[in-house]
Amino acid sequence: MNSRNLWAALVFVAAIGQPALAEAAGKVMAKPAAKAAPAAGETSMMTGGDPKWPVAKVGLDGTFPPFSTVDAKGVVKGFDPDMARAICEQMQVRCKFMRIDNMADAIPDLQAGKYDAIVASMSMTAWRRSQVDFTNKYYQPPAKFIAKEGTKIDFANLSGQRIAVQRNSLHDKYLSAVLAAKTTVLRYQTLEEAEAALRAAKADLVLGDSLALQEGFLSTKDGRGYAFVGPDLASEQWFGSGAGIAVRKGDTALRDQINQAIAKVRASGQYQAIANRYFAFNIYGS
């Protein structure tokens, strides 16, 4: 079976689940329908390639710069969609990018078949691994705190500190389990809102992904006068073993094919070319 036919089979397996085989095959192989207006929660972005290639639905976040952010036209841009596009090209698959409205719903929506894969900077924690299958990592940063420059904070005793965090993120789960008893955890829908609370002196600290904090805040005008403080947080229990692409539990063939594509993107130099657009350091890790 050639790679194109193999991918048609894989997308079929990933997208269908239990419906009848004949109906499913029709959905996979049918000619594309006339283009409709994008629905809420998805972009109008379809990757290029041969129109005969099968189509896969890829969930993307839009609230996590520089990994993903939404432009004025509603299109998700950043490291994650660029990587997703490169992977799709390696697989000879046309990918339909769909914006995830709420990351708390991402895994249930994947399980329900709304997406075939999620490329949304998802850290591979033990709990998430119990719900979905992950590819190999495609990058691995630590979690960090930021605060106003010059702030004196005793990280051995954070009692009374107000810590802002993105709601339902891994950082939120860590704070809730480890520090909530002695600190005030302030939860916001987006990381940008958490950063705004720090600037408004409503919070003493923000906890988040180090790269997102660096590129989306500290390196911007709004981030002047703020800096990383405290230790790197990299416990696999809380923060996983890097960011991977999520597929439905049991979709091992799809997972393995994505792993092959990630390896090819890295070996070809395309990975570094993409990373250089966003980062001045090694985003992949060791």
pLDDT in tens, 197-207: 999 999 999 99
Q: Is residue 173 located within the same domain as residue 48?
A: no
The average pLDDT across 214-225 equals: 93
C-beta of residue 285 within 8 angstroms of C-beta of residue 234: no
Same domain, 50 and 181: no
Q: Is residue 286 in a domain?
A: no
Please name the helix (run of DSSP H) or strand (run of DSSP E) that holds residue 271, with its range, or none: helix 270-276
Is the same domain home to 172 and 246? no
pTM of the model: 0.61
Query: Mind listing the pLDDT tens digit for each residue in 48-88?
Result: 667 778 889 999 999 988 899 999 988 899 999 999 999 99
Q: How many domains does the chain have?
A: 2
Structural domain of 152 = 143-239
Q: Is 108 in the same domain as 165?
A: no
Q: Is the domain of 47 the same as that of 183? A: no
Kindly state whether residues 15 and 116 are assigned to the same domain.
Answer: yes
- State the CATH number of the domain containing residue 251: 3.40.190.10
Residue 255 burial class via C-beta count within 10 angstroms: exposed 0-12, middle 13-18, buried 19 and up = buried
| 42 & 170 share domain | no
Model confidence at 97, in pLDDT bands (50, 70, 90)?
very high
